[in-house]
Amino acid sequence: MKDLVIIGGGPGGYVAAIRARQLGMTVTLVEKEAVGGTCLNHGCIPTKAYYRNAEIMRDLSHAEEFGISIAGLKFSMQQARERKERIVKTLVSGVEKLLADYGVEVIKGNATLLDHNTVAVGQGDRSLVPLEQAGQGTCPLVPFKQKIKAAQILLATGSTSASLPIPGLELNGVVDSTSLLQINEMPSRLAIIGGGVIGLEFACIFNSFGSQVIVIEYLPSILNQLDREIGKRMGVFLKRQGITVHSSTAIEKVEQNGNELLLTAKGKKGDLSIPADLVLVSAGRRPLTAGLNLETLGIATDDHGFIKVDENYATTVPGIYAIGDVIGGLMLAHVASEEGITAVEKMAGLHGQVHYNAVPSCIFTFPEIATVGMSEEECTSQEIKYRVGKFNFAANGKALTLGETDGLVKVIADEDDVIRGVHIIGPHASDLILEGTMLVKEGVKVSDFIGTIHAHPTLGEALMEAILDLNGQALHLSPRKR
């Protein structure tokens, strides 16, 4: 019997496996596809590979500002895809080697729970095949190739793209984010249904590649989960790049119209007809639990299908745990990894903890967005008295030298002087948020931060100035009228 079986080899599952081996557990990891999960194979990494392509295209298109002349600039979607696949292959191989070096047994196949300490692994897609065919009862399962006994089981099966009840989404040319990453030809016109993180990242990437991009968002604003000021500023920057955004707009249907697709929508100003060559449906994520046999075992889920867990990541069935996207909450790769580490540490009797109040979130748009901690709206809803400090990148020397002056740093502190939130929209926001994450996690006071020297000239000085601005002490801002 193994100490632990993990179902799902994404950033939650494989990291949990490594940590469990460090703690001396015997571990089997079951993964139906390649290790690394959605993040490495179909999400974070391939998207960021394309983001880098887009970043270079943007830089080259503005080369004359730096005294550089470039003629005949072309972009190859196929070559970008080949580069992306090389990167993914390299990282998958790296994870496979790590698991092997740590002595994690990896089994390829679909897993189904038979009971609280038995996992059956089958080949191919899960389907409803009575287990009595294999002499094991009556619950659904594919014909399995082996059973694994374990003292504890960890579910880390992740999530998949959510669907929408819109007629026509089954048409050729309507894709999800995974399929969009596999195309070889760039669409002249790309329509994106959904103005969240995934939708806007692809909007900026394909706009930089040369596509005409239209984003259709059902809610009144894009990026509605962010601090409202950041979302509004992003809307301005998208418009400046030539990306059209229709908010408060509902797609009614998608039809084939000759060689193009036609989206019919109803918006704030009436009916809309939007022609497109390709349509991306980016409507969020749903838990990937099909075939796990949750209901038969009595593993509780919420109204949206996410697995319910307690503070130890234990499900309602003793010995079975769950982490990552499959439990909902903050559906981010680094959160899944941290939950995986914490879950196995708790199994081992240690006292791990995920600091959910200080989870950084990065959005790879142009400009980048990164945020950690509380927004103004969250402070208001929780009746927390707060004050705000800001500093624009337009006044930062390094940003000027980069030619990237859009955006700002915004810091929120409470009445006890504790830094509660850091919100950045601008160059290298995803790197700058690391310092903000430490400040929020440790509950650093503004008065304790003052005197922390930031090298010059760096983008980090903008964060320093925003924090100084909380007390009216910013050195490169004109004094406020208070």
Domain ranges of the chain: 2-160+286-354, 174-283, 358-469
The CATH code of domain 174-283 reads 3.50.50.60
Whether 323 contacts 287, CB under 8 Å = no
DSSP β-ladder status, 244-246 and 212-216: parallel
Q: Is 358-469 in the same CATH topology as 2-160+286-354?
A: no
Residue 249 has pLDDT above 90, yes or no: yes
Q: What is the pLDDT of residue 124?
A: 52
Is the peptide bond between 140 and the residue preceding it cis, with omega within 30 degrees of 0? no
Alpha-carbon span 47 to 53, nearest angstrom:
10
Tokens of 208: 């930089």
**Across 34-38, 131-135, 201-205, 428-432, least confident range:** 131-135
Q: What distance in Å separates the CA atoms of residue 399 and residue 425, rounded to the nearest whole number?
A: 12
Q: DSSP state, 159?
A: E
Q: Which of 334, 428, 454, 456 is catalytic?
A: 456
pLDDT digits (tens, 9 = 90+) for 297-323: 999 999 999 999 999 999 999 999 999
Contact 437, 429 (CB under 8 A): no
Mean pLDDT along residues 35-61: 95
Structural contact between residues 184 and 77, judged by C-beta atoms closer than 8 angstroms: yes
CATH class of 2-160+286-354: alpha beta
In this prediction, residue 479 carries a pLDDT of: 86
Coil/strand/helix, residue 2: strand
List, in order, residues 6 or more apart from 258 with CB less than 8 Å away.
none
CB environment 105-121: b (16+ within 10 A), e (fewer):
ebbebbbbbbbbbbbbb
Would you say residue 223 has pLDDT above 70? yes
- Closest C-alpha among 313, 323, 417, 245 to residue 37: 323
Measured between alpha carbons, how far apart are the two ends of the chain, in Å?
Answer: 68
| Size of the chain in residues | 482
| d(C-alpha 286, C-alpha 309), whole Å | 17
- Is 413's pLDDT higher than 60? yes
Q: Give the closest residue to 68 by CA, choosing from 76, 56, 79, 77.
A: 56
Contact 144, 120 (CB under 8 A): yes
Q: Which residue has the tokens 């908010």?
A: 247
Residues 443, 382 contacting (CB under 8 angstroms):
no
* Banded pLDDT at 145 (limits 50, 70, 90): confident
Domain 358-469 in CATH 3.30.390.30: yes
Q: Give residue-wise pLDDT tens across range 91-143.
A: 999 999 999 999 999 999 999 999 999 999 986 544 333 333 333 333 344 45
Region 162-179: what's the mean pLDDT?
94
pTM of structure: 0.92
* pLDDT for position 284: 85
**Which residue, 75, 47, 51, is CA-closest to 61?**
75
Burial 188-214 (b: 16+ CB within 10 A, else e): ebbbbbbbbbbbbbbbbbbbbbbbbbb
Active site residue 351: no
